[in-house]
């Protein structure tokens, strides 16, 4: 199999210790919540990992599995706490290896980063430093507990080897237990496991040494560690270099360089879309200069060309692409075959993956409805292809058309504007959401490749649909913002937020936005970043509650930094030529503005569906027209529906 143009380094074989990999592409460990309540491997987990191995990746590192009951991070996390787990782990390892990839698994202990509700006890840590993530204070581990935990890591590694895995990885990053011992932020101990650099690294060193005794010399041991905590007073790159050298001397075969803790202000540990692609690669590059074992780079690497560049420039020896492989498990194979346009992009939205984990739900992906349902969602060709008409070229309509065409149906798509994309075109306007701009090119490529007949600039009528005589009609006409019933709302200084984002409406220097939902907040961010003086008025106590908490915090923080102003628990009662009049705490106030932007309320565009639903054998409603929601709702509902026809 030949690699795509200029990707020869990425698909070059390499070694980690005695383990030979078919290429330098790694699937890093990412939680799924696919395990059973007792931590056993499920068939769902096996099929999920099998699919990624089948896609052509060189090494699959299975998600962090807890080594001790007090280290459990989730109710549905994989466990390595007993020999009874070995049979399930063995099936998982064999499933990965049968597809040509090597299989490793990560050894995990949450330390203070877990709720007492999950483990049924007070969390433990190096010291009693409160955790901002779970808002609890851990208790310091005793020397006896430290020894017990070191042995738990060793025994977990033994079970991994017995189960037939090719390697094991130690999780010493992202503010979990080992990182808590390594970092001066969380290790305030005065005994032999604290104080000096040697004291803070002793816990990691003894874990490595215990694992090495359990698995012997030729079984590869990888250490995932922070190249920086991205937090003042935490681990810096210079100290991380010393930690990496210490880990190498203790016996690890590779260093997997990540960064950030959950307290990091810009979310480095979860690498959201506002951080630049490859932002952590310099950390790997710095550590590679001081160690002799292979170094794995990670951190917002969602493009194979970027991965190739990292390797070509010698910044790392291997590259991890995590969420990109959730979005498209076939990414390696498509890249090897030069089919780059077919790769479903990862937009680093964290909506289906990390956000689901934080709310203790199973992982999915905004753009890939098949995650965790690989066999159920396997696309099967339809024996009797049908003539399918899709009305609306937003993400819901495009996904319906894509899946229907993959099944062999004859598909035509009509979009009333001159551009595919719908609401995504507007959602991608705020600068921090630039990754969303990769969605439309992907869909365009796939629809063209699959032979979908695309008609732009045609607002299809009911009579035209009858003329076309489709057997299946999919209505994906979305929703629209509407003007609320407020005196003065029809004034010449009033515009819709969607028109502002689309560049159809000009605004003055002083702007008032009515509505602090997601679209209102993001429109405010966009305008404030341009230097406009923006005020958002919201009736509720909090703004944009539908956003992921980390994204909500980031956008609000940046909006305030741009000089933006939020007025909450206020009701707009009138719009005048001077601005907006609102009531708050029984008083009427005027917020002056040159332009009033409306971001209140939507109406679903479903009249065409209502007219057609009883007149054709199969009429489906998908996307915002069916249920107002996020991109994920639109794509998933469309994908599921298109599999039924």
- Residues serving a catalytic function are 176
The per-residue b/e assignment along 284-303, b for 16 or more CB within 10 angstroms, e otherwise, is bbbbbeebebbbbbbbbbbb
Spatial CB neighbours of 151, under 8 Å, sequence gap ≥ 6: 210
Give whole-number Cα distances, 229 to 86, 184, 205, 241, 271, in Å.
34, 10, 19, 13, 13
All residues at 6 or more sequence positions from 610 whose CB lies less than 8 Å from its CB, including other chains = none
Alpha-carbon distance 289 to 286, whole Å? Answer: 6
Asked if 252 and 220 count as a contact pair (C-beta separation under 8 A), the reply is: no
CB 535 within 8 Å of CB 591: yes
> Which sign, positive or negative, has the C-alpha torsion 182, 188, 189, 190?
positive
Q: Which of 451, 417, 416, 273 is nearest to 351 (CA)?
A: 273
Contact indicator for 44, 88 with CB cutoff of 8 Å: no
CB 390 within 8 A of CB 413: yes
CA nearest 534: which of 504, 571, 561? 561
3-state secondary structure 51-72: HHHHCCCCEEEEEEEECCHHHC
SS3 317: coil
Neighbours of 216 (CB within 10 A): 9
DSSP-assigned letter for residue 458: -
DSSP E strands in 478-540: the ranges are 479-481, 494-496, 510-514, 533-537
User: Do 58 and 21 touch, CB atoms closer than 8 A?
Assistant: yes
> Hey, is 368 helix, strand or coil?
coil
CB 564 within 8 A of CB 524: yes
Compute the distance between CA of residue 313 and CA of residue 250 in angstroms, rounded to an integer.
28
CA distance 171 to 113: 13
Query: CA 16, CA 22: separation in Å to the nearest integer?
Result: 11
Q: Are 591 and 537 in contact (CB under 8 A)?
A: yes
Cα 35–chain centre separation: 20
Give CA–CA dist 145/130, Å, rounded: 19
Backbone φ and ψ for 534, nearest 5 degrees, come out as: -115, 135
Distance (Å, whole) CA 93 – CA 159: 12
């Amino acid at each position: 199999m030949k690699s795509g143009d200029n990707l020869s380094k990425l698909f070059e074989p390499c070694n980690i210790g005695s383990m030979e990999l078919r290429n330098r592409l790694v699937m890093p460990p990412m939680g799924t919540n696919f395990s059973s309540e007792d931590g056993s491997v499920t068939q769902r987990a096996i099929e999920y990992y099998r699919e990624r191995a089948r896609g052509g990746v060189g090494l699959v590192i299975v998600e962090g599995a807890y080594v001790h009951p007090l280290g459990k991070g989730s109710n549905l996390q994989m466990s390595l706490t007993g020999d009874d787990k070995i049979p399930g782990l063995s099936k998982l390892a064999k499933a990965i290896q049968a597809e040509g990839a090597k299989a490793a698994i990560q050894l995990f202990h949450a330390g203070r980063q877990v709720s007492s509700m999950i483990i049924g006890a007070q969390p433990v840590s190096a010291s009693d430093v409160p955790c901002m993530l779970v808002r609890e204070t851990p208790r310091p581990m005793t020397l006896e507990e430290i020894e017990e935990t070191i042995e738990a890591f060793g025994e977990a590694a033994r079970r991994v080897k017995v189960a037939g895995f090719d390697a094991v990885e130690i999780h010493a990053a992202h503010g979990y237990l080992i990182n808590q011992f390594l970092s001066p932020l969380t290790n305030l101990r005065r005994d032999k496991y604290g104080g000096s650099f040697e004291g803070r690294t002793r816990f990691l060193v003894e874990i490595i040494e215990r694992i090495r005794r359990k698995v012997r010399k030729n079984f590869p041991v990888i250490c995932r560690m922070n190249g920086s905590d991205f937090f003042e007073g935490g681990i810096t790159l210079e100290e991380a270099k010393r930690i990496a050298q210490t880990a190498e001397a203790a016996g690890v075969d590779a260093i997997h360089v990540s960064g950030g803790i959950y307290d990091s202000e810009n979310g480095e540990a979860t690498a959201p879309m506002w951080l630049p692609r490859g932002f952590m690669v310099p950390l790997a590059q710095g550590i590679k200069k001081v160690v002799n074992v292979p170094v794995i780079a990670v951190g917002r690497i969602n493009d194979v060309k970027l991965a190739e560049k990292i390797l070509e420039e010698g910044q790392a020896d291997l590259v991890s692409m995590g969420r990109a492989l959730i979005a498209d498990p076939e990414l390696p194979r498509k890249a090897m075959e030069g089919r780059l346009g077919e790769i479903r992009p990862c937009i680093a939205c964290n909506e289906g993956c990390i956000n689901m984990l934080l709310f203790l739900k199973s992982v999915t992906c905004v753009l890939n409805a098949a995650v965790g349902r690989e066999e159920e969602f396997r696309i099967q060709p339809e024996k009797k292809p049908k003539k399918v008409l899709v009305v609306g070229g937003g993400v819901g309509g495009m996904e319906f058309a894509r899946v229907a065409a993959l099944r062999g149906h004859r598909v035509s798509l009509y979009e009333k504007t001159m551009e595919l994309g719908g609401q995504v075109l507007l959602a991608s306007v705020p600068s921090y959401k630039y990754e969303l701009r990769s969605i439309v090119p992907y869909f365009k490529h796939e629809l063209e490749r699959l032979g979908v007949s695309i008609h732009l600039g045609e607002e299809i009528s009911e009579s035209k649909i009858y003329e076309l005589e489709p057997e299946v009609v999919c209505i994906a006409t979305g929703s629209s913002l509407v003007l609320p019933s407020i005196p003065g709302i029809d004034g010449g200084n009033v515009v819709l937020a969607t028109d502002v984002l689309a560049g159809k409406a000009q605004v003055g220097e002083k702007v008032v936005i009515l509505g602090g939902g997601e679209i209102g907040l993001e429109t405010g961010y966009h305008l404030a970043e341009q230097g406009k003086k923006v005020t958002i008025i919201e009736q509720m106590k909090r703004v944009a509650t539908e956003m992921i908490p980390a994204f909500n915090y980031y956008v609000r923080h940046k909006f305030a930094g741009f000089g933006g102003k939020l007025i909450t628990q206020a009701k707009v009662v009138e719009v005048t030529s001077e601005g907006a009049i609102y009531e708050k705490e029984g008083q009427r106030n005027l917020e002056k503005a040159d332009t009033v932007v409306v971001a209140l309320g939507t109406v679903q565009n479903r009249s065409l569906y209502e007219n057609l639903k009883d007149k054709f054998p199969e009429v489906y409603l998908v996307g915002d027209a069916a249920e107002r929601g996020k991109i994920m709702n639109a794509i998933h509902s469309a994908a599921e529906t298109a599999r039924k026809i």
